[in-house]
Amino acid sequence: MIKSKSIDYNQIPEHIAIVMDGNGRWAQSRGLPRLAGHNAGMKSLKKIVEASSEMGLKYLTVYAFSTENWKRPADEVSGIFKILVFYIEKELKELHANNVKVNIIGDFKKLPKEAVDQLARSLETTRENTGMVFNIALNYGSRDEIISAVRALAQKSKEGTIDPETLSEIDFENYMYTKDIPDPDLIIRTSGEMRLSNFLLWQSAYSELYFTDILWPDFKKSDLEKAIIEYQNRKRRYGGV
């Protein structure tokens, strides 16, 4: 098969998900505090959101803060949320002007109040937008998401409103954070790590995975394009031949 070296804009993935990894190592390599890396990562995120919307991507999901990230030092966790609030305050007007719809996956109500309030504002402001859906995974863990869905379905079964014998994948997915969101076609992870780290485990069953050594703050539009070209040169078989 001859591989294309340029993007086919008629075959842009519908949904790309990104594990934005490497902020800390980026800062460390420059003798900077870890929060400097997170701040640089937010600048990279802005560029990738803009590029994704311009390309016609329908869904972009980014792993911003996992359920495991609470284990990090308290000052780093606090700083991440402050950077997040600043980013949303600064970019919300532009996101709204570009018809981007902000969505949160994860139990974000457990975040600090300032972050919760700003996120709620972004959700309300962009609620009617019809362009790209920008999913931010916050206080998100795929295992927690699955367990939460199982608990809800178990309660429905106990109440007699759901028959376990006829339970379908669609029934299950209706209790996930990603309800009404198609599974990601392509998952990108930066920084050279090759794992999903509790991210979209159910939804990634047939996603194409793309790993790059580039640290997230250095990830540019051209790197996104390279990942998409790689995706377009693969053949998705979904278990077939």
Q: Which of 10, 69, 99, 129 is catalytic?
A: 69
**Pick from 83, 44, 88, 81: which is nearest to 215 by CA?**
44
Q: Is 69 an annotated catalytic residue?
A: yes
Euclidean distance between the first and final Cα of the chain, in Å?
16
Please state, in angstroms and rounded to a whole number, the distance separating the CA atoms of residues 236 and 241.
9
Please state, in angstroms and rounded to a whole number, the distance separating the CA atoms of residues 105 and 138.
6
**Pick from 235, 184, 205: which is nearest to 52 by CA?**
184
Q: Which of 8, 10, 21, 171 is catalytic?
A: 21
Angle between helices 221-232 and 34-55 (to 10 degrees): 60
Q: Is 163 an annotated catalytic residue?
A: no
Catalytic residues: 21, 69
